[in-house]
Amino acid sequence: MTTNFENWQAERETEKHFLAEVTLDQHLIDWTKTSGQTNVYELDIAEIPKLNHLPQFASVKENGTAYSSQTSIANVDSNAGSYYYDQANSKVYIHTSGSDDPDGKTDSKYDYTILARFTLYFTSGAGEVHSNNFYYPRMAQGALSNLSVTTRDIYFGTQTTGKGDLRMKNEDGFFDAVLSRYVWRGAEVKILLGGEDLAYADYATVFRGFVDRWQGGDTEVALTVRDYRSLLRRKFPINTFTFDDYPNMDPAIQGKGIPIGYGEIEGAECFLIDDTVGDGKYKLADHPVAVISTIYNNGSSISDSYITKDTANGEFTISGSWSGTPDQITADFQGIPGSSVMMMDTFSDDTMTGQTTHNEGGTATYTEEDGVSKIATPDSVSGYVIYDGKEFANGTIEVKVNVKSVINGSSGAAILWDWVSTTNHWKLEIRQDRGKIQLRDIGGSGLLGEELVTLNTDTEYTLKLEVSSAGVIKGYLDDVLKITYDAGSAFSLNPFGYGNYVGSTVWYDDYTVEVGFLTNGADMVKDIFTRFFDVDSADIDTASFANAADNAWQKIAVWSGGTREEASKVLDRIAHSNLCRLVVGADGKIYYRFWDDGDTAVATVKEEDILGSYQATQEEEDIYDQIDLYWGKNAGSQESVKSYSDPQVKELYKRDETLEIKTFLEVEDEAEDMAFRYYNLVREPITRYALRTKLNAIDLKVGDLISVERRRGISPTGLHNGNYRIFGIKKDFSRWEVELELVSASDALRTSLCSTGCQETCESDCQGWCLTHCEGNCELVCQLACQFQCQQNCQLSCETCAENPCQEVSCQLSCTTSCELGTSCETRCEIACEPPACIRLCETTCELVCQGDNQTSDV
Amino acid sequence: MGAARFLYNNLADYSTVGFTASSEVSTLPVENVKAVLRTQVWRSTGDTDENITIDLGGNYSVDSVAIVNHNLSDGATITYQSSTVSDFATTVHSETLTYREGIIFKFLTAGSARYHKFRFQDSSNPDGYIEVGRLYLGKYFEPSTNFHSNWEAGDVDLSVVSQAEGGQYFADVKAKQKQINLSWTHPILLSLADREKFEDMLSHVGKHRDFLLFIDQENKPEWTYYGRISGELPRFRNAHQANWYEFQMEFKEAL
């Protein structure tokens, strides 16, 4: 007796079959007023032919809004926007939101679209019952022969929609009636795989999507289904300006898309939605925004004193007292709010050691309760806890953090340690939304480094920091992280947890909150799906999005408005900004995949698993001699370009083509990084492989890494032993075969290949104090292309390790080995890196030298 | 061993027949027992004392009843009653049916009744409810001579098997389906009267309607199958003797 899907799937002798669950709508019209009731209308609901029963309604919706379910007709009469389903008498009763006739029309169009949602159940087996639902055995032989997810584009993005046909038997005319009765287009389809001995709960979801169309006749009906990416064929932005919503709007904007904006947007077009208020009420976004910075008229800023900002609705009003005449109104703003960060008041005005001056928050005293040391919790405390300030000149500082509670909020940070040197003011903080420990320089240059630590509760972490120059530790918290704070909510928390300082006094400081906004692609993609496409957050694979957010952290600014375009173009551009792929897994979840060289193979294809011969091809369109990458934060005109080209490509491959990549990158350095990473990918041929396998591969998805074990293969273009990345997959469930399209793992990672080499070199060369810092920097920067990041890495290490005797030579060697910068760089570095002038001169020299063509990565 | 029996004209399948049940899950109503699919079941909400009552709309003669596809346990008490009155104050039949894992059936003394009730008392049922796929009521047909002793029975494995380049076998495992070939060939021949009975049956079931085949209801009750004619309808061949015929039929079990 098999007990779970994994065991069951491994048994080749089990009978397998599929379940298809189709959730669809019935458009309810032709209502009759219910006698004796004031606002109730009723409708007879016929049984589903041959199933001998009425559908179980999951919901009844009016214009997309669900009615509340009532238990009697009388209750329906009393509650606008409600329904009662009398299954025994085959009737549904409703009370519209407007307490009027549900069949009412204006200009021959229905005022209400009333839809009842329910599910039909099918099986490829003999017919079975799960959860009191009969699965109708109508799936034809080979009903799922062509479910596929594939792409021809290996350059990331959204890829082709997964699709397939679900074929059903119709000899007895079952579908004759139901095809016309229900709204099939857009119906949700879920396909599960299971079989004998397996409980329904252990069936595996192998496809989820939507009905795109149907076709059929007397004997068979085929439902063409597509996965979640079919949503991306919708026009974006989703909502448009209408007179129904904005009766006083500028007529010229009718039908234009209400903009959406993520990140830091400059010069966004604003739309006049009410010309009766002051000098006009304008809409800049179809959603809340974090900050409305500056409003412009024909490029000239309008003083904030004339602007009433409404960030919650993405709107603002220009006062009638403004002397100007509105013409082309634009705005700088920060888009959809994201993580807000609590920032402790700067220590420049606080002296915490033994004093309460500037200690605006208050004090509290540790006590002991029930044998457990605790801090007495004052009522209504808002603020931040630090323990007794300590001073250190230099040396290694250890901060122990016992994480008692990691709140599932989307934001929040705890500053654990604060250090002010003569030149820097660094804070060590744990960010809730990343699960990372970050070292931030609040002096203005931003993030310095981060440790990849997954925070677990009830776990003590020891953080080591080297302080190599004189500084003063103002305070640190050797206590508890406990923050409850979500974006958009008022900050109110009990900052105290368990401590070991009974009787001692602690201070909690005042704080400020930086209203955050989404800045990276992963967060934006997730938000687009859940906010605009109503995708349930449970259908978002949080792990892949978190991984992408960690590894593809480039700041991007997305603005889409006015002229609408296919949503896939917007998502493509985001994905291209991140070198990520938008993938829908076999489980129906949406994945945002960053290909990591730390990935491990999830499956192994052995020689005996391969059917027939594999095919290897090199495509002309995979090679380009030039890359043009478009970037910029100016809304609607992100036309700044970063280019890389290589004349050798023309000579070698007779290819004279430019690959244009549109991105939403907003930072020039990051755009340059990204352009170079694409350049690494396209300047050499990539070999594609295709094979068929009997592998039990239902769980595989695009982006997965698989191991191939074969005895032979024509090097370097053959399929031999090694790891390969899936970029296309087609599943034929009728023959239990899977077609895979692959590229070698190393080819797929040309965009980030320097990381391992650089890191290893750093680790081996940087001895002593230098090691940790160099390694940390390498880990961070070598996720980018090697060329000048590695150089900068070494520069940073040089600064940090300036007092380490190993430094000068090892750094230079590190640069040389990792980045193959060439003799000139090495020589100049050697000359330049003589103490005490090492740091600046080395940096300058490297910067000068490392711009040329003589630098390549250690690919 | 008696002759094979055929129960094909199910009185409960006619559209005018009414069904009531002691209880039912709304998505698995009692009307499901006349759906052609044996897997499309009626499900009660309890198992202690459940019943299905069938109103044929008039008195019809019944000499056999059957229950196809059920979840009854071997401790179940199964009774069948028929009556000319709806309250079953008087009964034409009042029988206890013997539990079988497969098809439960009983041949009765013919009696005419309008109302028919199947009662299920199965409080030890591990499912906690009663499920029934098909109910059969009617009159069986038994040819006067049994089929030839060279009859065949076996399973058709619907699994799809293929071979990899290296010779390994892969199987998409499917169910097995019973297939039975019966023949009346020399020297075992059908009389004209039997031929006419078979013709009536074939006219009714065609190749699209299921019926019950009892190979040896006395000695091998487990050799009772629910299925239909496989392939084209069989033909009768004159056996070169006046009013005697040869006949072969292929039966395939319905899954």
CB pairs under 8 A between A and B: 75
Tell me the chain A residues in contact with residue B174 when contact means C-beta distances shorter than 8 Å: 15
For testing contact with chain A, the best of B24, B44, B130, B174 (most A CBs within 10 A): B174
Residue B62: predicted pLDDT: 96
Separation in Å, CA of A214 to nearest CA in chain B = 25
Is B26 touching A (CB cutoff 8 A)? yes
Q: Is the pLDDT of residue A386 over 50?
A: no
A14, A136, A612 ranked by CB distance to B165: nearest: A612
**Chosen from B26, B38, B40, B163 to mutate, greatest number of chain A CBs within 10 A:** B40
| Polymer length of chain A | 859
Q: What is the pLDDT at residue A429?
A: 55
A166 close to A189: Cβ distance less than 8 angstroms: yes
Please give the pLDDT value at position B52. Answer: 97
Residue A11: per-residue pLDDT: 62
**What integer pLDDT is reported at residue A680 of this predicted model?**
80
- Taking residues A227-254, report their average pLDDT: 88
Minimal C-alpha gap between A88 and chain B (Å): 9
Predicted pLDDT at A25:
92
Residue A764 to residue B42: CA distance in whole angstroms:
73
Among the residue ranges A232-246, A620-634, B120-134, the one predicted with the least confidence is: A620-634
ipTM over 0.85: no
Q: Is B164 on the interface with A (CB under 8 A)?
A: yes
The strand pair at B176-184 and B244-253 is best described as antiparallel
Estimate the share of chain B in helix, then strand, then coil, as percent rounded to the nearest 5: 10, 50, 40
Q: What's the mean pLDDT when you consider all of chain B? A: 92
Q: How much is the pLDDT for A695?
A: 59
pLDDT band for A789, please (50, 70, 90 cuts).
very low
Helices (H) and strands (E) in chain B, counts: 1, 17
> Which pLDDT tens digit goes with each residue over A709-765?
877 666 555 667 788 888 888 877 766 778 888 888 777 666 553 433 444 444 444
| Helix or strand run (H / E) with residue A583 | strand A580-584
Q: Which tokens hold the place of A375? A: 């801090």
| A22 pLDDT higher than 50 | yes
- Dihedral of alpha carbons A828, A830, A835, A838, sign: positive
Mean pLDDT in residue range A486-509: 31
pLDDT of A392 higher than 50: no
Contact assignment for B43 to A612 by CB distance below 8 Å: no
Q: Is A36 exposed, middle or buried (0-12, 13-18, 19+ CB in 10 A)?
A: exposed
Task: Count the helices and strands in chain A (H runs, E runs).
Answer: 15, 54
Laid out side by side, the sheet with A640-645 consists of A640-645, A626-631, A658-662
What letters, b where the CB count within 10 A reaches 16 and e where it falls short, cover B51-74? bbbbebeeebebbbbbbbbbbbbe
Residue A642 has pLDDT above 50, yes or no: yes
- For residue A833 the two structure tokens come to 């890196």
**Least Cα separation, residue A51 to chain B (angstroms):** 8
Tokens of A324: 């100007």
Average pLDDT over residues A668-674: 85
**For residue range A543-574, what is the model confidence (pLDDT) as tens digits?**
899 888 878 878 889 999 888 998 888 888 89
pLDDT of residue B75: 94
Of A221-235, A378-392, A425-439, give the range with the top mean pLDDT.
A221-235
Residue A352 has pLDDT above 50, yes or no: no
Residue A234 backbone dihedrals phi, psi, to 5 degrees: -70, 155
Q: CA torsion, points A68, A69, A75, A78, in degrees to nearest 10?
A: 10
Mode of pairing for the β-strands spanning A658-662 and A626-631 = parallel
Residues in chain B within 8 Å Cβ distance of A610 = 164-165
DSSP annotation of A829: H
A429 versus A667: which is more confidently predicted? A667
Pairing between β-strand A204-216 and β-strand A220-226 as defined by DSSP bridges: antiparallel
A207 pLDDT above the threshold of 70: yes
pLDDT at A848: 35
For testing contact with chain A, the best of B13, B17, B27 (most A CBs within 10 A): B27
Q: Which residue of B has its CA nearest to A736?
A: B172
pLDDT-derived band of residue A151, with 50, 70 and 90 as boundaries?
A: low
For tokens 């000499």, what's the residue? B63
Residue A47: its pLDDT value, please? Answer: 78
Q: Which residues of A touch B41 (CB under 8 A)?
A: 129, 134
Chain B interface includes A136 (CB < 8 A): yes
**Which residues neighbour A474 within 8 Å (Cβ) at sequence distance 6 or greater?**
A347, A350, A351, A352, A353, A386, A389, A418, A419, A420
A624: left (phi over 0), alpha (psi -120 to 50) or beta: beta
Instruction: With a cut of 70, say whether residue A407 has pLDDT above it.
Output: no
**B160 part of contact set with chain A, CB < 8 Å:** yes
Best mutation target among A134, A144, A193 (most B Cβ atoms within 10 Å) is: A134
Predicted local distance difference test score (pLDDT) of residue A378: 32
A754-765 vs A786-800: helix crossing angle, rounded to 10: 20
pLDDT at A615 over 50: yes
Contact of A169 with chain B, judged by CB distance below 8 Å, is answered with no
* Cβ–Cβ < 8 Å for B103, B82: no
Whole-structure pTM over 0.90, yes or no?
Answer: no
Sort out which chain B residues have CB atoms less than 8 A from A612's CB and list them. Answer: 165
* Contact: B173, A12; criterion CB under 8 Å: yes
Q: Which of these, A483, A399, A493, lies nearest to A433 by C-alpha position?
A: A483
Which distant-in-sequence residues (6+ apart) come within 8 Å of B167 by Cβ? Answer: none
Smallest CA–CA separation between B66 and chain A, in Å?
A: 20
Instruction: Confirm or reject contact between A2 and chain B (CB < 8 A).
Output: no
How do residues A69-120 score in pLDDT, each as one tens digit? Answer: 999 999 999 999 999 998 888 899 999 999 999 998 887 778 899 999 999 9
DSSP state of B199: H
| pLDDT number for residue A470 | 40
With CA atoms as reference, the chain B residue closest to A613 would be B165
- Where is average pLDDT lowest: A179-188, A434-443, B172-181, B196-205? A434-443
| CB proximity list for A437: less than 8 A, separation 6 or greater | A416, A428, A429, A430, A450, A451, A453, A461, A463
Given an 8 Å threshold on Cβ–Cβ distance, is B255 in contact with A126? yes
Q: Under 8 Å CB-to-CB from A109, ≥6 apart: which residues?
A: none
* Residue B20 host element (H or E): strand B18-21
Q: Could you give the angle at which helices A754-765 and A807-819 cross, rounded to 10 degrees?
A: 160
- Kindly compute the dihedral angle of the four CA atoms of residues A231, A232, A237, A242, in this order, to the nearest 10 degrees: -40
